[in-house]
Amino acid sequence: MPIIKKMQHLTVIELLKQVIVSWQVIAVTIGVLLYLQLVFYVSRNKRGPGKIHKMSEKKGQSKAEKPAKAAAKEAEEDHSGKSSNDELGLEEE
C-alpha cells in the first residue's frame, strides 16, 4: 500500500509545509532563479547592438523585407520591355 494512503491528510499537508519552508529548498530555488536570470541577461546581450528583438518590431514589414522589395522594384524597372536574352546578347538567329 502506498504510504500516502496510510497517512492522514493533515499529516501530509504538515509534511509538505515543512519541506517547502526548509532552508535547503529555499536556497536551491533562489539559486536556480538567479542562474536563469543570468542566462537570459547574457543571451540578450550577445545579440549585438544592431539586432532587433522580434517582439519590438512593428507589425508588417521587417527591416530585411524593405530593401528586398526595393531591389525587386528596381529590377522590374530595369527590365521593362527587354527580355533577359536581349540584355545578354543571346538572340536566336
Q: What is the pLDDT of residues 19-74, one digit of tens each?
A: 999 999 999 999 999 999 999 999 988 877 666 656 655 555 555 566 666 666 66
**51 falls within a domain:** no
How far is Cα 50 from Cα 73, in angstroms, rounded to an integer?
A: 26
**87 falls within a domain:** no
**10 falls within a domain:** yes
Whether residue 88 is predicted with pLDDT greater than 90 in this model: the reply is no
**18 falls within a domain:** yes
More confident residue, 14 or 9: 14
- Domain of residue 11: give its range: 1-46
Q: How far apart, in Å, are the Cα atoms of 19 and each of 9, 26, 32, 81?
A: 16, 10, 17, 80
Question: Domains in the chain: how many in total?
Answer: 1
**Residue pointed to by grid coordinates 509534511:** 15
User: pTM (2 decimals)?
Assistant: 0.43
Q: How far apart, in Å, are the Cα atoms of 84 and each of 15, 47, 53, 72, 88?
A: 80, 41, 40, 15, 7
